[in-house]
Amino acid sequence: MPRFRTPLSAGFTLLEVLVALVIVGTALGASLRAVGSLTQNSGDLRAAMMASWSAENRLSQIRLAHEWPAFGERSFPCPQAEMNLICEEHVLATPNPSFRRVEVLVFEASHPERRIVKLTQVVPNAL
């Protein structure tokens, strides 16, 4: 009695290859999106750090000079590294006339509508 051999399957079908390509493509797309998100977050954190330094510099300058800032608002450039930043200083009254509240807001010069950071400090009268 003759024996018939069944052909052995060697390789993948076209459908299996296409399914594998879709899975790999989806995984690569998700990875690229995650890397892009991390890059954006890194840039935002760096901008926040630079803006905080600028605001802290101004508040430290007031403390160290024992400055009694005048009421009102003023704006001045406060660059850090290669970032062009604009600081706004708001000096407000407090319930105690021996203290003044100083707020320093930092904006990116290219996007003045976007506030990066706001720091506040109460300044005592040094006189």
CA-to-CA distance for 92 and 80, rounded, in angstroms? 26
Beta bridge partners of 99: 124
pLDDT in tens, 99-110: 999 999 999 988
Task: Give the tokens for residue 97.
Answer: 């006339």
Kindly report, residue by residue over 34-89, the tens digit of the pLDDT. 888 888 788 889 989 999 999 999 999 999 999 999 999 999 999 998 889 999 99
Q: Decide the pairing of beta strands 85-93 and 111-124.
A: unpaired
* pLDDT computed for residue 11 by the predictor: 80
C-alpha–C-alpha distance, residues 15 and 2, integer Å: 35
Element (H, E) at 32: helix 14-64
Copy the structure tokens of residue 23: 């899975």
Measure the CA–CA gap between 116 and 21, rounded to whole angstroms.
43
Which residues lie across from 42 on neighbouring strands? Answer: none
Stated pTM of the model:
0.68
Domains of the chain, start order:
16-124 (3.30.1300.30)
